[in-house]
Amino acid sequence: MERLSRVVGPAATNVHVLADPASREAIAIDTATPSLGWLADELAARDWTLKLIASTHGHWDHIGDNAAVAAHTGADIAVHPLDRARLEHPEQVFAPFDIPPSVPAVELAEGGLIRFGSIRLRVLHTPGHTEGSVCLLAEDDGLLFSGDTLFAAGWGRVDLPGGDAAAMVESISRLAGLDDRLAILPGHGAATTIGHERAWMELVRDGKRLFA
């Protein structure tokens, strides 16, 4: 797998692009505004064809360029069914610009597998930040694209639309069962590993609550 990342927009969202070097098919994760120009340039420079836009959840700072990127590339948009309405009818709360609606064509359901060439991403439904938040697990490459579920030294907010503290506890507890060596590539901030975050994740799991 080949991988590119860029931090974009007022919320400093991490946008990821994964590509299979043989087929030159690519997947974009969380196409925040403004990512279209960068994506278009990188795809053209590498002769990659974008096949899928995967949204880890439906908040404005992760979906702002979904419609524009889909129109430019012809790629399908994917999201968990519980966050579908957030893409079709974006909430403008806190957004500093208009967020165009986008129409998902693919469901990121629990246990589903995204496959393009050598790319394999397993869908883990991890609600808490929103009802339909997901993480995308690339087991062969030792990577977890965690969206706003899991960050370095913390978890995604549960006081925004769709947030649920109890659900977040369950999601963090589930992720605590993953291998220590797994690299975490979150929706915001620096990369980390399960092993580096394990101590506090186990506190959440064992205490069955989020701590201050």
Look at residue 54 and give its three-state secondary structure. strand
- Whether the predicted pLDDT of 93 surpasses 90: no
pLDDT at 21: 96
Confidence of residue 92 (pLDDT cuts 50, 70, 90): confident
pLDDT at 71: 98
What domains can you pick out in the chain, each with its CATH number?
A: 2-207 (3.60.15.10)
Taken as a whole, the chain contains a residue count of: 212
pLDDT at 175: 98
7: closest CA among 156, 189, 193, 192? 189
Handedness of CA 39, 4, 117, 122 (dihedral sign): negative
Query: Could you identify the residue written with the tokens 């909430």?
Result: 91
Q: State how far the Cα of 82 lies from the Cα of 17, in Å rounded to an integer.
A: 24
pTM to 2 decimals? 0.97
pLDDT tens digits along 123-170: 999 999 999 999 999 999 999 999 999 999 999 999 998 999 999 999
